């Protein structure tokens, strides 16, 4: 019997750690799986997904820029995916693709279980309104935050995410230009390329946004997160974290969706963190 096939679909994907993470989970649990990479542009996504299914693909993770398109390609959606409107985990069924989203649970698990964060009652700033921001926002609300302010370069996308969340008492869309009048935040989450080397330019964010003992997370990881976390350090942030832990935790949740077993994440996280040479909690 051939080894069940799984993959990450995105563009670009050559840099991804996902195959290594899932290989570690497979060894740990004794579950056979072949996890590869499929590089597909937005125009190629539908054809790439169809070819993967025809070749016996059992499940896939989805990354930029396809999370919204993946949701539209599904025959069914989990409650989590329906709430956030995007999909990062696909499972092949007898009638088509079933979609789920594990990003939010992955982020909350990393913040609470690994970094000791208590999210209850915290005022949170979410920078970005793309696929990753959609994925994490509902889980943050479920974790008990008191308020979620969303800013993005495109106001219409900010408003669309706020409308989707359907919690006007706690969710507030704002423009970057308004941030200097919005007070301070206990937790700031960067779900964009702002501060990354490829983005260029200065950060359009006042450091006065960081509350005393406030924390900052960049959902990128490794070198991509250095610029934003340096901004946070200069602004006096307490804990500064990158997205490596979220990457590992959301992968574990996807593995559980596919196999009904949630692997331990500590060993592979520690291995990847040591190799990165970067400390993300200060």
Per the annotation, binding residues are 16-18, 63, 79, 88, 103, 128-132, 152-157, 219, 221, 243, 250
Residue positions forming the annotated binding site for shikimate: 16-18, 63, 88, 103, 221, 250
Given a contact cutoff of 8 angstroms between Cβ atoms, the answer to whether 98 and 67 are in contact is no
Residue 85: closest CA among 132, 44, 47, 52: 132
| C-alpha to C-alpha distance for 93 and 113, rounded to whole angstroms | 32
Annotated active-site residue 51? The verdict is no
Beta-ladder partners of 120: none
Give me the catalytic one of 11, 58, 66, 67: 67
Give the count of beta carbons closer than 10 Å to the beta carbon of residue 218.
28
Give the distance, in angstroms, between the CA of residue 63 and the centroid of all CA atoms in the same chain: 9
| Dihedrals phi, psi of 7, to nearest 5 degrees | -160, 165
Apex 94 CA angle, 68 and 261, nearest 5? 75
| C-alpha to C-alpha distance for 89 and 144, rounded to whole angstroms | 25
| C-alpha to C-alpha distance for 195 and 67, rounded to whole angstroms | 23
Given a contact cutoff of 8 angstroms between Cβ atoms, the answer to whether 65 and 10 are in contact is yes
| C-alpha to C-alpha distance for 55 and 136, rounded to whole angstroms | 32
Report the b/e string of 247-273 with b at 16+ CB within 10 A.
bbbbbbbbbbbbbeeebebeebbeebb
Residue positions forming the annotated binding site for NADP(+): 79, 128-132, 152-157, 219, 243
Catalytic positions: 67
């Amino acid at each position: 019997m051939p080894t069940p096939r799984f993959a990450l679909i995105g563009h670009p994907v050559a840099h991804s750690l996902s195959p290594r993470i899932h290989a570690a989970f497979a060894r740990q649990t004794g579950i056979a799986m072949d996890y590869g990479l499929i590089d597909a542009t937005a125009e190629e996504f539908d054809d790439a997904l169809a070819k993967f299914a025809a070749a016996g693909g059992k499940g896939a993770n989805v990354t930029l820029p396809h999370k919204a398109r993946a949701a539209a390609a599904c025959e069914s959606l989990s409650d989590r995916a329906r709430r956030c409107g995007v999909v990062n985990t696909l499972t092949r069924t007898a009638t088509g693709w079933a979609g789920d989203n594990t990003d939010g649970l992955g982020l909350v698990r990393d913040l609470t279980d690994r970094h000791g964060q208590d999210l209850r009652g915290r005022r949170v700033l979410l920078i970005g309104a793309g696929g990753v921001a959609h994925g994490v926002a509902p889980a943050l609300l479920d974790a008990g935050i008191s308020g979620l302010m969303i800013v993005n370069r495109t106001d219409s996308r900010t408003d669309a995410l706020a409308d989707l969340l359907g919690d006007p008492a706690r969710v507030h869309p704002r423009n970057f230009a308004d941030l200097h009048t919005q007070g301070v935040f206990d937790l700031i989450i960067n779900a964009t390329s702002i501060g990354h080397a490829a983005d260029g330019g200065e950060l359009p964010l006042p450091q006065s946004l960081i509350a005393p003992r406030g924390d900052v997370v960049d959902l990128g990881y490794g070198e991509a997160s250095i610029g934003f976390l340096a901004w946070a350090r200069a602004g006096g942030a307490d804990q500064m974290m990158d997205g490596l832990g979220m990457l590992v935790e959301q992968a574990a949740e996807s593995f559980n969706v596919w196999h009904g077993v949630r692997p331990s994440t500590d060993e592979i996280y520690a291995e990847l963190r040591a190799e990165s040479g970067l400390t993300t909690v200060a």
